[in-house]
Structure 1
């Protein structure tokens, strides 16, 4: 089945690298890639500036940038399984992304985070956190600025959960799809920070994941005597895992995975790409 992938672009080298990463990630899968540039003209009360002319200039610059991307793709002689569409919108980035998701039924959004690590912290204001918070009904894959090539073998996706909330099959569909596409294993990680046995509800939610992941290689893991954030970091680093998957509930950031009682719990910047799964109705 064809995938519909959205890649917002501000025409930087990092945005181009994100597009190239997506092409490699889905090199064996028929895809339509939607390349979106959102531009916004600040509202000014001024008699000396022509707002209409400024808007037209911004639109022309946006369309010119998208045209250059298409030229670059044509030069690369891209995969015949891949097609491309460009979208230019005079909107805030989050609004433009949501409109594109709704209109084209996007399967996955790819964005790059500034800095060496992936910054997805709700406690700090940044573009990634804002967009993730606002855009609904579509998973994100957030890449570190210094992204690494995919390993040829031993690909695995770490999926932390406290088992306190049930998942819908469609909410983890993007995780299963990525595991199948990459021939990767899913490592379900539980951090037991208080030493209590799982409740009956937690065990039921754990069993539900078993039924969802029957078609992929998966395993359950448990760490004790550590905080959630430290445990996840150590697990990823010790196993050299390829991806991290997090589930974001609407009423809380990542299913209250990270307690805000400690700054160390908030300051979460993994070095691997992060697949962000959304709560769906």
Structure 2
């Protein structure tokens, strides 16, 4: 089945690397890549000639940059089933992304975070936190600027959960697809900070995950005597895992996973790519 991937660009080297990463990630799969550039020209109280000129100049710059990307892609022939469409919008980035999702039924958004770590916490004011908070009904894959090459084998995606809330199959489908594409394994991680047995509801939710992940390699893991953030970091580092998958509910940014540990979680900045699964209707 064809995938529809949205990749915002600001025409930097890192944005280009994100696109190349996406081509490699889906090299064996038919895809349409929507390359979006959102630019903003501050609205004046009166639409003067000066403002119109600024708007036209910004539009021309955006379209020229997108055309240059298409020219660069002509030299890459990884998959003849890959198609590319460019979108230029004079809008706020989150608004432009949501418009694309609604219009084109996007399956996944790829973005790059500044620095070696992936900064995804809403406690910080940054572009990644803002768009992942505002944009609905589509998962994200957030990459660090310095992306590490994947090993040839033993690839792992860590998926922390407290089992307290049920998932819908379609909410974890992108995680399953990515696991299959990468020939990877899912490591479902439960941080038992309180040393309490699972409730009946938690056990049921755990069993449901077994049915969802039946077609991929997965395993359950449990850590005790540690906090959620520390436990997730230590688990990833000790196993040299390659990806982290987090589930974001609409009530708040990962609020149901990191519910009572706000002060600690503002430092949650993993060094691996983070797949953000979104609560769907």
The 1:98/1:262 distance shift into structure 2, 3 A limit, reads closer
* Alpha-carbon distance in structure 2 between the residues aligned to 1:139 and 1:119: 16
- Please tell me whether the aligned partners of residues 248 and 277 of structure 2 are also in contact (alpha carbons under 8 angstroms): yes
How far did residue 252 of structure 1 move? 1.9
- Counterpart secondary structure, 1:172: helix
- Please tell me whether the aligned partners of residues 138 and 278 of structure 1 are also in contact (alpha carbons under 8 angstroms): yes
Q: Which runs of 5+ in 1 are unaligned?
A: none
* Alpha-carbon distance in structure 1 between the residues aligned to 2:32 and 2:261: 43
Q: Which moved more, 1:6-15 or 1:145-154?
A: 145-154
Q: Encode CA deviations 1:231-261: one digit per residue, 9 max, x unaligned.
A: 0000001111110000000002114322454
1:35-74 to structure 2, matched below 5 A, reads 35-45=35-45, 50-74=50-74
- Please tell me whether the aligned partners of residues 176 and 213 of structure 1 are also in contact (alpha carbons under 8 angstroms): yes
* Alpha-carbon distance in structure 1 between the residues aligned to 2:236 and 2:199: 26
RMSD, aligned CA: 1.4
* Alpha-carbon distance in structure 2 between the residues aligned to 1:86 and 1:48: 29
* Alpha-carbon distance in structure 2 between the residues aligned to 1:247 and 1:36: 25
* Alpha-carbon distance in structure 1 between the residues aligned to 2:49 and 2:235: 55
How far did residue 78 of structure 1 move? 4.2
* Alpha-carbon distance in structure 2 between the residues aligned to 1:274 and 1:267: 15
- Please tell me whether the aligned partners of residues 27 and 78 of structure 2 are also in contact (alpha carbons under 8 angstroms): no
- Please tell me whether the aligned partners of residues 259 and 265 of structure 1 are also in contact (alpha carbons under 8 angstroms): no
The equivalent residue for 1:31 is: 31
- Please tell me whether the aligned partners of residues 227 and 265 of structure 1 are also in contact (alpha carbons under 8 angstroms): no
The equivalent residue for 2:104 is: 104
The equivalent residue for 1:187 is: 187
1:1-281 to structure 2, matched below 5 A, reads 1-45=1-45, 50-259=50-259, 261-281=261-281
The 1:236/1:263 distance shift into structure 2, 3 A limit, reads same
- Please tell me whether the aligned partners of residues 258 and 266 of structure 1 are also in contact (alpha carbons under 8 angstroms): no
* Alpha-carbon distance in structure 1 between the residues aligned to 2:48 and 2:3: 47
- Counterpart secondary structure, 1:91: coil
Q: Encode CA deviations 1:120-149: one digit per residue, 9 max, x unaligned.
A: 011111100110011111000000011111
- Counterpart secondary structure, 1:76: coil
- Please tell me whether the aligned partners of residues 260 and 266 of structure 1 are also in contact (alpha carbons under 8 angstroms): no
* Alpha-carbon distance in structure 1 between the residues aligned to 2:13 and 2:278: 28
Q: Which runs of 5+ in 2 are unaligned?
A: none
- Equivalent residues, number: 281
